[in-house]
């Protein structure tokens, strides 16, 4: 097991901004459905993903993600209308990855998503000279996730049917 400190990173992405009329507000239900779709249909959000196989295990998803020759197995758990959590299930003790997407609503309609990452691998550690670039890549991917959720909401995909 690696003795390097794991990479921890978290940040907030604002969903609704009452001061900006250009931003169409999302409801908590629309946002939740978008986060669930991120787990169930990851290729919609991660275009460089080659394939994803999903097994349903009760309230959880077990996924096998293929990025070229790299294969990642993870477990996705849901805390309804609050949080989606991803955790690798590989038995390699030198590698571990957890990511949470948690909806926060400090005031009615003031929605945010807090993205939290904990990663340990040869490529992910707090003392890696590229840690800042890795965090920025995660931040940009999360902003893109929210952008795609907005696109899905605009198209009606996230409306209750």
Q: Does residue 65 belong to any structural domain of this protein?
A: no
Q: How far is residue 149's CA from residue 73's CA, in Å, rounded to a whole number?
A: 24
Q: Does residue 1 belong to any structural domain of this protein?
A: no
The whole-angstrom distance between residue 24's C-alpha and the CA centroid of its chain comes to 21
Q: Indicate the number of domains in the chain.
A: 1
Range of the domain at 89: 7-45+79-154
For residue 9, CA distances in Å to 20, 67, 77, 92 come to 28, 23, 20, 22
Q: Does residue 124 belong to any structural domain of this protein?
A: yes
For residue 160, CA distances in Å to 44, 92, 96, 111 come to 20, 41, 36, 19
Report helix, strand or coil for 137.
helix
For residue 29, CA distances in Å to 56, 125, 130 come to 22, 35, 37
Q: Does residue 25 belong to any structural domain of this protein?
A: yes
The most confident of the ranges 25-39, 50-64, 84-98 is 25-39
The CATH number of the domain where 118 resides is what? Answer: 3.30.530.20
pLDDT of residue 95: 76
Q: Is 153's pLDDT higher than 90?
A: yes
Q: Dump pLDDT digits (tens) for 98-133.
A: 999 999 999 998 999 999 999 887 777 778 787 889
pTM, entire model:
0.90
Q: Dump pLDDT digits (tens) for 59-95.
A: 899 999 999 998 999 999 999 999 999 999 876 666 7
Q: Does residue 51 belong to any structural domain of this protein?
A: no
| Segment holding 91, helix H or strand E | none
């Amino acid at each position: 097991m690696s003795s390097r400190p794991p990479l921890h990173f978290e940040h907030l992405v604002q969903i609704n901004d009452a001061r900006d009329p250009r931003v169409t507000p999302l409801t908590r239900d629309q946002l939740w459905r978008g986060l669930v779709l991120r787990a169930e249909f990851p290729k919609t959000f991660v275009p460089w993903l080659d394939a994803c196989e999903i097994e349903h295990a009760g309230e959880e998803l077990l996924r096998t993600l293929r990025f070229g020759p790299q294969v990642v197995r993870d477990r996705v758990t849901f805390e309804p209308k609050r949080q989606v959590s991803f955790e690798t299930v590989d038995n390699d003790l030198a590698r571990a990855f957890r990511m949470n997407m948690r909806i926060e609503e400090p005031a009615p309609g003031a929605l945010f998503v807090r993205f939290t990452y904990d990663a340990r691998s040869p490529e992910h550690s707090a003392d890696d000279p590229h840690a800042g670039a890795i965090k920025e890549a995660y931040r940009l991917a999360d902003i893109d996730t929210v952008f795609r959720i907005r696109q899905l909401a605009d198209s009606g995909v996230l409306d209750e049917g």
